[in-house]
Amino acid sequence: MPNLTRFLRTRVTVAAGVVAAAAPLALIPPATAADVDPKVKAAEAERVKAVNLVRPAVAAVCFYGGQVCGSGVVISEDGYCLTNYHVTEGISPVMQCGLADGLLYDAVIVGQDKIGDVALVKMLPKKEGDKFPFVQLGNSDDTKPGEWSMAMGNPFGLALDFTPTVTYGLISGTQRYQPPEGKGTLEYTDCIQFDTSINPGNSGGPLFNMKGELIGINGRGSFEKRGRVNSGVGYAISINQIKNFLGHMKAGIDTDHATLGAMVITDGEEGGEELNKLVFTQILDESDAFRRGIKPQDQLSAFAGRPMSSTNQYKNALGLYPKDWRVPITVRSAAGARKEMLVRLMGNIDTFVGEQEQPNQPKPGRPGRPGQPPPEQNPAQAKAKKSPAAKLVVEKKGYANFHFNKLETDRLVAAFTKQHGSAAAFGGNWAIDGTVQLVDGRSGEVKITWADDKEGVTEIKINRNGIEDSLKPLSGNLSQAELALPQGSGGLLLALYQLRVFLTKMQAGFNPNENIYPGFVHGGTEPVYPMPADVTSKAPPAATRTLCEVIRTKKGQFEGKWFFDPKDGTLVGGESWFDKGEDPCELYFSDHKDVSGVKLPHKVAVRWGDKGYAVLTVKSYTLGKK
């Protein structure tokens, strides 16, 4: 018993000691604001400041009538708003968007990127001239794993007043690849992975860095299978990828992603200098890669400035670009010769190579519409037909909304005319006198003439030191050799013919019947690599890259592109085709001077394929009268 008494006394003493030790803790006063590390307070203040800065521009994308189906973000004061394609695909072209001011705004689809899962819509102000709050586009290439990020949107349609929900978390990875869903659409290349929580309804909403800059559009996540619960893995389309397609979407285009027109695989060589390298196995005859001389077993060393050692890297880089863009690539032949070249990308075709989805991995999903009915079951959609946005819808194959292509075309033509003046009054015969310097070192005098017969058929001639070539482009039954004159130029006569049609007639000169083929349309944006005006210069073309706005034209069977400085509408260059299976004749314009009230180029550099042809220097123009 004494021992038991001693044991109980000890236990009570120990217990009492614990209580006694705990008692002083309860008396410690809670931390005050003065006790918080100033750095923590400053970081919190900056975070709150960033949220308040961008919150007014975060949108809830809705069926007409206000049923939320996703999120978006306004990127310009005139109401252009980015979201996901998979958010808008189930809505009619007319919709509504709610902002944090609690108001619903009528909106209309502008452009879309089905493969990249991006859509652009235009919100209409309540009063003409009103401006929308908008966010700044960041540089997603600067985003690094471990940095903080903010996602904003309307998950589950929680905020009936459209005030966006804010979540906060880490950037988990960059340059991730997520394969397409369904029929090759919704392919996430070079995307941003994050653990910032997103859920159904967040689709199309913004991902911000901590400066409040837009770095991505949220679209996919890995979810727990049964409850659609976020597993902490989300994906955003990088804003730098979206920037490449934004000019196309603003022009109402249903965009297409690029392919190289070739298949590449990873080839590992044990014991070699390169354990992983990408080699070409198949190349389409009609591809630019084939025309540039790439052959099976050649190695792809770099693509658009990125070193290449795996198909994942290749698919990530390829997915950043629209079709028809040109990018620099580096190829090493099977014999070891290294060559840098510009390659024109083709439209998206099935050249998929690479790793298949691994078993037992979380299947990516889309945090999209939170259980909203399809539009045909939504009576509010009938009201959309009475919306002022309904008047802004023009359907045409190849376009999400052709109305906006007309707007962009007219805007660009107006900018060009303001910069260059109008040559519409000079529709008669034209002539140029000047000099020519060929890349082979020859030089001399040159004279170019355009002459119209009584039926309006144009004949164009070029005379170089007594050597004359001539062409009547619309006379019919012309051989490819005739259309390619002068020899080695890829069709300089045809290109100059189309140039004069463009300068004197604009839209009216190119297949004006838009119901058959819109022969004068805005083509979005595209990088141009001007040839130096000094034909002897060795500057690599990639170093001259400039992003231009594009007008695409079609005259009879002949197609052209015309490139403009987006800042002021200056004509920078043009391309002319007589056969899409061949390289175009490329023209690059500089030294614009006034001629009878029209500003015309006095230097024209000519390139065909990967070779320069000549530089024309104009001494004088003779412009005819109508």
616 domain residue, yes or no: yes
> What CA–CA distance (Å, rounded) separates 301 from 474?
44
* HSE-up of residue 604 (Cα within 13 Å, Cβ side): 25
Q: Using a pLDDT cut of 90, give the percent of the chain over it.
A: 67
Cα-atom radius of gyration of the chain, to the nearest Å? 31
In whole angstroms, how far apart are CA 561 and each of 97, 380, 511, 522, 571?
36, 43, 14, 10, 11
Question: Do 173 and 272 share a domain, yes or no?
Answer: no
Least confident among 31-45, 227-241, 475-489? 31-45
Question: Do 241 and 322 share a domain, yes or no?
Answer: no
* HSE-up of residue 177 (Cα within 13 Å, Cβ side): 18
**Segment 157-195, tens digit of pLDDT:** 888 889 999 999 999 999 999 988 866 788 999 999 999
525 domain residue, yes or no: yes
Question: Do 480 and 392 share a domain, yes or no?
Answer: no
Question: Do 371 and 440 share a domain, yes or no?
Answer: no
24, pLDDT greater than 90: no
Question: Do 249 and 152 share a domain, yes or no?
Answer: yes
Token pair belonging to 441: 């070192």
356, pLDDT greater than 60: no
State the DSSP code for 157: G
> What CA–CA distance (Å, rounded) separates 619 from 602?
7
Confidence of residue 5 (pLDDT cuts 50, 70, 90): very low
Active site residues: 86, 117, 203
* HSE-up of residue 430 (Cα within 13 Å, Cβ side): 26
In whole angstroms, how far apart are CA 225 and each of 94, 230, 341, 360?
33, 10, 47, 12
Confidence of residue 465 (pLDDT cuts 50, 70, 90): confident
Question: Do 586 and 464 share a domain, yes or no?
Answer: yes
158 domain residue, yes or no: yes
What is the per-residue pLDDT for 374?
A: 57
Separation of first and last alpha carbons in the chain? 128
User: Are the CB atoms for 425 and 626 separated by under 8 Å?
Assistant: yes
Averaged pLDDT score across all residues of the chain: 87
**Segment 534-562, tens digit of pLDDT:** 766 666 778 889 999 999 999 888 999 99
What is the per-residue pLDDT for 60?
A: 96
> What CA–CA distance (Å, rounded) separates 238 from 247?
16
State the DSSP code for 181: B
Q: Using a pLDDT cut of 70, give the percent of the chain over it.
A: 84
18, pLDDT greater than 90: no
**Segment 472-531, tens digit of pLDDT:** 998 888 999 999 999 999 999 999 999 999 999 999 889 766 555 679 999 999 999 998
**Segment 398-427, tens digit of pLDDT:** 999 999 999 999 999 999 999 999 999 998
Question: Do 251 and 262 share a domain, yes or no?
Answer: no
Q: What CATH number did the domain enclosing 205 receive?
A: 2.40.10.120
**Can you give the residue range of the structural domain that contains 233?**
53-256+361-396
Give phi and psi for 568, each to the nearest 5: -140, 5
Give phi and psi for 155, each to the nearest 5: -65, 135
Question: Do 443 and 455 share a domain, yes or no?
Answer: yes
Question: Do 334 and 365 share a domain, yes or no?
Answer: no
Question: Do 239 and 265 share a domain, yes or no?
Answer: no
**Segment 86-129, tens digit of pLDDT:** 999 989 899 999 999 999 999 999 999 999 999 999 999 999 99
Question: Quick one: how many helices (H) and strands (E) in the chain?
Answer: 10, 33
What is the per-residue pLDDT for 20?
A: 39
User: What are the strands, taking DSSP E only, across 124-276?
Assistant: 136-137, 148-153, 165-178, 188-194, 206-208, 213-224, 229-238, 258-259, 262-267
> What CA–CA distance (Å, rounded) separates 278 from 268?
9
In 3D space, the residue among 281, 514, 477, 294 whose CA is nearest the CA of residue 395 turns out to be 514
